[in-house]
Structure 1
């Protein structure tokens, strides 16, 4: 909660659509007419008739988020109304205002969002439609949501977003997907353009648009599922990759939950951190990799697989862990014999945090066995064999077995090292 002084009256937060003043309910109009200060984007403020809304008009500066407390403080004690696009609490300014002032200090007047309008125009049930925003975010994050037969609504950053979406879909093997661009939803200038991603050749249109994607995967494109254990071929790597079957077991032991943060120590190709983040859009991860070439490769893998928000720290652990936010889980995929690494990871974990470590060497296995005796958890050996040709027959080729220790931290004791 912010330390801003409370307003003399609740701050009105009014959602407005492309239809402007005419589309507002009487209560929303009254809040705007009574306001002494009207804050919003230039386009939104221009939708209000001066005769009906005589208050002082203040445009949002850029960047917007840091300006919120300053503007509210400047006009404290006056009746303030803030304009938002559509529903203020759906990817809107309502969140920032709620965090600054608290919900009790706001009176919110929602308007149908662009998503509501789009679902109505397309006949798509809203509960079956995924929404991805690219406002202030890289287009690559759309890749994690691509699955054959799914419907996605993309909140555009501007007039160039539809073409960027079409290029990404085509690059990721979803060129046959049908795109519908809906512009100026709810206004008299509402317009629609359609086409397929692979053949998209429409020029840039109105900056106020939304892109509807009916996902269709090219049969020749690789199929990427929604659970951990993506094919090894989904990754660019130099051999330093937690292989598919071990990766699936490792993610199961890490047990990601929405909003949690993972430390991936010894990132390699980034597969553990990437698949942790793919389990839920709010999952976060930091991967620490000492090799700068591998660090660059991790970034490419994260971008291609739809989690460009993966934070990459180039440096050796445990020094590279300094200053990182406390994790909910830690995975150690390499460097177990580095002095102080296990202790640093253990001490960083809060109660209830999970640690999972994999190794193929006897020296590191001995360390994990010793810590298992002290802290419990589960110590397992994973062995995977693949069928391969043996002359005219078929036999098994076994990969190097993996020793895995997984443990949940039950309590914190000062000076308690592992």
Structure 2
């Protein structure tokens, strides 16, 4: 029988567990856990190479079938621990697990955050792809097991590079359960560090107590920094922050923030606003036309002052906002079928201080009937009514009395079926159609190197009238 006993820092074993350790013929574990039993009289085996250790256990069992073996593990051995590997090599009936409190449990307890909806990701000896999968849809709470390569600052850099439409507060919980336990608000430390780089004229230093225990219950909204790219901030953090090093035993906890990052309107670009500054759908934060695609669509629209522009399927209103800021003299009509989307457009209008957008909640093409004739149309969504929407759009573009001016319709398509439908419909009616196929990727750091994280491919259709 192999008994796998979980041990947490600062927590004593049950007497029954201690009895099994004393009675074991072999005690297997890492140096730190083996040192917890200096008076053990049996044979100790250091847990180094896992597969080599498992082979040794098999040899011991083969020669001594009734041998008693205890394997020491950190916390819960079945939570990204040695338990999974043991189950791959030994029958379940031959294994007995006695978990302790995991570092993940302790981290959320220290932060006083309910974690029934949390996603747990291990980056220990792994890539950060699983973390990316949890970040993209904006999971509310994410706990990350780290290692020397994917350390807390590397994770912060990774989040920055993803340019997410949501923001996270980052906590680092070290040596949980030990007398040297520490909980660090990494968000606040990076905020201070970036302030030093930006305000180089101001001689400020990181307060010594910021590298100590920061009580999460004492944090305010102003303490929270959003790890996102902005033109006035460095996009990457150094490998070390002044006077701060993290213990090898640490857990990173990400907690999604409800509000979008604060805006400094003086620092906003004329065009090409970063995705994270828009209010977005809480359950689908990635449901926004990405900045790079918006820029290309704006170019295809060939906007001019005084135009009437329809934005059909406006979603969060990101493209409408860009158009409104770029051409203040234009009249923009944002058409969105959902109440949630219409609310987000209104919030983004207030956020970006634009007033040349009219929001029309309802489903196209019916809701288009009462709108003024357009000079430009953008179609971002059609809800299964693409052909009918195209018919109305083409009819209304032709009705514009300023017939000497060129009219343009632009549509984004992620689906080849919808693209084919639009192409076929427009070509049958002899409209001039151009396509722009867009395959883009953003670089993200992976340790000391980078890789490219692709955006969803999009085809931009442009029809001239």
TM superposition score normalised by structure 1? 0.51
Aligned to 1:181: 172
Could you tell me how far apart the structure 1 residues matched to 2:29 and 2:292 are? 44
Instruction: Give the match for residue 47 of structure 2.
Output: 60
For residues 57 and 173 of structure 2, the distance between their equivalents in structure 1, rounded to whole angstroms, comes to 33
Q: Which residue of 1 aligns with 2:415?
A: 245
Moved more, 129-138 or 151-160: 151-160
Rounded Cα–Cα distance in structure 1 between residues aligned with 2:30 and 2:418 = 46
SS at 1:89's partner residue? coil
1:42 offset after TM fit, Å?
1.5
> Aligned to 1:169, what secondary structure does the other structure show?
helix
Aligned to 1:313: none
CA contact (8 A) 1:159 1:207 kept: no
Distance in 2 between the 1:136 and 1:39 partners? 21
**Corresponding position of 2:107:** 118
SS in structure 2 of the partner of residue 88 of structure 1: coil
Structure ranking higher in helix proportion: 2
CA gap of 1:98–1:170, structure 2 versus 1, over 3 A, is: same
Does the aligned pair in 2 maintain the 1:12–1:82 contact within 8 Å? yes
- Quick one: structure 1 residues 57 and 119, their matched pair in 2 at CA, closer, same or farther if it must change by over 3 Å? same
Contact 2:140 2:256 in 1 (8 A): yes
Task: Tell me how far 1:69 sits from its aligned partner.
Answer: 3.0
Q: Which residue of 1 aligns with 2:251?
A: 210
Asked whether the equivalents of residues 30 and 46 of structure 2 are also in contact (C-alpha less than 8 Å), the reply is: yes
Which residue in 1 is equivalent to 2:274?
A: 220
Contact 2:119 2:139 in 1 (8 A): no
Q: CA deviation at 1:221?
A: 2.7
The match for 1:129 is 118
Matches within 5 A, 1:12-411: 12-19=3-10, 22-48=11-37, 50-51=38-39, 53-62=40-49, 64-65=50-51, 67-74=53-60, 76=62, 77=64, 78-146=67-135, 147-148=137-138, 150-158=140-148, 161-174=151-164, 176-196=167-187, 199=194, 201=241, 203-216=244-257, 220-221=274-275, 244-246=414-416, 300-301=451-452, 303=453, 388=462, 390=464
Which digits, 9 at most, give the CA deviation of each residue in 1:252-307, with x for residues without a partner?
xxxxxxxxxxxxxxxx9799xxxxxxxxxxxxxxxxxxxxxxxxxxx944x567xx
5+ residue gaps, structure 2: 195-236, 262-272, 294-411, 420-437, 442-449
Deviations 1:173-222 (A, max 9, x none): 25953111001111222111113266573632210000011235658236
2:174, 2:93 → 1: CA distance?
A: 35
* Higher Cα radius of gyration: 2
User: How many pairs align?
Assistant: 249
Q: CA deviation at 1:30?
A: 1.3
Shift of 1:390: 4.0
CA distance change for structure 1 residues 215 and 385 in 2, over 3 Å: closer, same or farther?
Answer: closer
1:71 CA displacement: 3.2
Query: Could you say if the C-alpha distance between residues 228 and 121 of structure 1 is closer, same or farther in structure 2, counting changes exceeding 3 Å?
Result: closer
SS at 2:415's partner residue? helix
Deviations 1:221-252 (A, max 9, x none): 367986999968789xxxxxx96224999xxx
TM-score between both structures, scaled by the size of structure 2:
0.46
